[in-house]
Chain A
Amino acid sequence: MTARTMPARPGEDDTGQRPLPWRRMAGVTWRQHRIALAGVAVLLGALAVWLWMAGTPLHHAYAAANACRPASSPACQDLLNTFNGSATNHFMGDKGPGGVLLQLLPALIGAFAGAPVLARELETGTFRYAWTQGFGRWRWALAKLVLLAVVLAAATAAFGVLVSWFYQPYSGAGNQVPGLYQNSPFGDLFSLREVTFPAWTLAAFTIGALTGMAIRRVVPAIVATLAAYAGLAFATAGFLREQYLTPLVTASLNLPGASNAWVLSQWSTKDGRFAFAGNPPDSLLNQLCSSAPGSKDGPPGDVFAQCLAPHGYTQWISYQPASRFWPFQWIEGGWLLGLSALLIAATVWLVRRRAA
């Protein structure tokens, strides 16, 4: 032990001491969480291969149908039908089971990587080791959470790029041929793109870290994280997302970019007054459209144009155009990132003040 002189006043010899450098936590975090990180890498890697294999034929079918000339020829119509059929019924499609399964990814990654970070330390008692080392407990918690968050965000962003690639044929952006299947980019896969996927994963991870710190048990913390995440995801998809920007309203029956806009609601007015919401009621159709046989069963737009419009009805549609996809991505990514930062701050605050 080196001889040291006692400070004249307590603490005086410590004032010049700088805290330990943050970079020291990189190797520490890696050693402690490499199994969880490897698990995430294997899961995302396997899904990426699968997505690649599922997406390649879809891209080929789309390219073939899109390049076929003349578009109206039977051969081209065959190609078009082939693409439309496989896109509509695709396992990974917007409404397919694969798309729904992918929705679980951010929640699962976040909960299983995030909840144990602090809960396991508290459950096994190792926090008494970690929090009494020279690094200091709040710096230890902050470094660990930020490092893991950055790594998870990078991995899920890369996966989000692949999801976007998979989704390209659905977007209709490069369509040269009318009649190709198109889907709204605001569909179920909206939260799995290159901005939103990492953002949702971060949210799940930080919810997990905070609940782990608050509940102090791994399994209950994982369950609580999944529940909180589900609530947030459903509230966002059901209510919040459509209000990021004020919806556009149109009375045109030919909605600009109709097949991939996100239609929020539809209602009709008669002589400037509200008449009905949604599709026309049967009683009204029976009354006004009986003179036009067969039109009742046609597409709603045709029905409207043929028999309701002449009687003074106007149909209104409020919608989010597909061109707002990127603003919506950044808005959702932005508030989720802010939420994640807040949750990390709250977790570190709890670590700092929570007594053993």
Chain B
Amino acid sequence: MNVLEASGLGKRYGRTWALRQCTLEIPAGRVAALVGPNGAGKTTLLNLAVGLSVPSAGAVTVLGGRRAGSPAALDGIAFVAQDTPLYKNLSVADMIYVTRNLNRRFDRPYAKARLDELGIPLRRRAGKLSGGQQAQLALTLALARRPRLLVLDEPVAMLDPVARHDFMATVLAAASADGVSVLLSSHVLTELERVAGYLILLARGQVRLAGEVAGLLSAHGKPSLEELAMAYLRESPPAVAR
């Protein structure tokens, strides 16, 4: 099964195409990294995948053929948006309550145990938590939904190195222990080195490269993801002739 399939997918804002001619198949059971410079179209692609926006061209399906944003797709996908939006005036316990009631499945013991482990008090307001704690709370709420696909948009961009490490450790644990497929975007390449099994390279709204990390590295003769990406982004043709 593919967790995401896009064919000829495009999204236009006004006259600008944020994403064009995107054809992709991301297999299940991997941590897939969506990599590219700022403005490459990463967030646009993720918003289309979780059904927050509708395509201007082409189509995108998730979890083996479900229309993005359909009830079945919403049930199986947990999304943590950029800057991890939470209701700042609600307590952590209220955020758990709200998330539990808005979803078919919610593993409350998991959420409580995880927050306890992280030392996040249930009575504190979400807005009073540190940036790292807010990110961990958003991730915990997402994982407690027991999703089949976890989508993370720039999850670690705002975090300090320690928080970054902890966050990615949680993601990896979920991916390896529970078999959750993960699709995450980032422009911090070093973080992805350890975690990503599948790579999608986006630049200027188009897919430049997609495939298994191991296969791509050997095919291009590069020792690391970072070098591969850097080389590819430099080599890739500048503005595409329109």
Residue contact B74 to A136, C-beta cutoff 8 Å: yes
Residue contact A28 to B81, C-beta cutoff 8 Å: no
In the complex, how many angstroms separate the beta carbon of A293 from the nearest chain B beta carbon?
A: 75
In the complex, how many angstroms separate the beta carbon of A15 from the nearest chain B beta carbon?
A: 9
Residue contact B64 to A133, C-beta cutoff 8 Å: no
Residue contact B85 to A135, C-beta cutoff 8 Å: no
A126: interface (CB < 8 Å): yes
Q: A10-B64, A32-B98 are contacts. A132–B79 as well, Cβ < 8 Å?
A: yes
Residue contact B52 to A132, C-beta cutoff 8 Å: yes
Complex Cα gap A353–B79 (Å): 19
Q: Could you say which residues of chain B place their CB within 8 Å of the CB of A246?
A: none
Q: Is the interface of B mostly helix, strand, loop or mixed?
A: loop
B77: interface (CB < 8 Å): yes
A312: interface (CB < 8 Å): no
A284: interface (CB < 8 Å): no
| Cβ 8 A contact of A126, one of B54, B65, B85, B104 | B85
Binds B, one of A16-24, A42-50, A162-170: A16-24
Residue contact B81 to A10, C-beta cutoff 8 Å: no
A292: interface (CB < 8 Å): no
Q: A20-B104, A128-B85 are contacts. A11–B65 as well, Cβ < 8 Å?
A: yes
A35: interface (CB < 8 Å): yes
In the complex, how many angstroms separate the beta carbon of A128 from the nearest chain B beta carbon?
A: 4
Q: Could you say which residues of chain B place their CB within 8 Å of the CB of A136?
A: 71, 74
| Cβ 8 A contact of A129, one of B72, B85, B104 | B85
Residue contact A35 to B74, C-beta cutoff 8 Å: no
Q: Could you say which residues of chain B place their CB within 8 Å of the CB of A27?
A: 97, 101
Residue contact B104 to A134, C-beta cutoff 8 Å: yes
How many residues of chain A get a CB closer than 8 Å to chain B's CBs? 34
| Cβ 8 A contact of A133, one of B70, B83, B86, B103 | B103
Residue contact A11 to B145, C-beta cutoff 8 Å: no
Residue contact B90 to A135, C-beta cutoff 8 Å: no
Complex Cα gap A19–B77 (Å): 16
Q: A10-B65, A14-B72, A355-B54 are contacts. A124–B102 as well, Cβ < 8 Å?
A: no
Q: A6-B1, A126-B85, A355-B54 are contacts. A134–B146 as well, Cβ < 8 Å?
A: no
A281: interface (CB < 8 Å): no
A319: interface (CB < 8 Å): no
A1: interface (CB < 8 Å): yes
Residue contact B101 to A125, C-beta cutoff 8 Å: no
Residue contact B86 to A126, C-beta cutoff 8 Å: yes
Residue contact A1 to B52, C-beta cutoff 8 Å: no
**Which residues of chain A in 119-143 are interfacial with respect to chain B, using CB atoms and an 8 Å cutoff?**
124-136, 140
Residue contact A135 to B97, C-beta cutoff 8 Å: no
Complex Cα gap A129–B52 (Å): 10
Complex Cα gap A7–B85 (Å): 33
B75: interface (CB < 8 Å): yes
A31: interface (CB < 8 Å): yes
Residue contact B102 to A35, C-beta cutoff 8 Å: no
Complex Cα gap A1–B81 (Å): 23
Complex Cα gap A197–B66 (Å): 46
Complex Cα gap A133–B71 (Å): 9
**Chain B proximity mask over A49-82: 1 for CB below 8 Å, otherwise 0:** 0000000000000000000000000000000000
A356: interface (CB < 8 Å): yes
Q: Could you say which residues of chain A place their CB within 8 Å of the CB of B222?
A: none
Complex Cα gap A293–B224 (Å): 111
| Cβ 8 A contact of B98, one of A11, A28, A355 | A28
| Cβ 8 A contact of B81, one of A9, A14, A129, A353 | A129
Complex Cα gap A293–B78 (Å): 90
Q: A6-B1, A7-B64, A28-B98 are contacts. A134–B85 as well, Cβ < 8 Å?
A: no
Q: Could you say which residues of chain A place their CB within 8 Å of the CB of B52?
A: 128, 131-132, 355-356
B27: interface (CB < 8 Å): no
| Cβ 8 A contact of A128, one of B79, B101, B104 | B79
Residues on A lying within 8 angstroms of B by beta carbon are 1, 6-7, 9-11, 14, 17, 19-20, 24-25, 27-28, 31-32, 35, 124-136, 140, 353, 355-356
Could you pull out 10 A-B pairs where Cβ atoms are within 8 angstroms? A17-B104, A31-B98, A32-B98, A128-B81, A129-B138, A132-B51, A133-B99, A134-B71, A134-B104, A135-B102
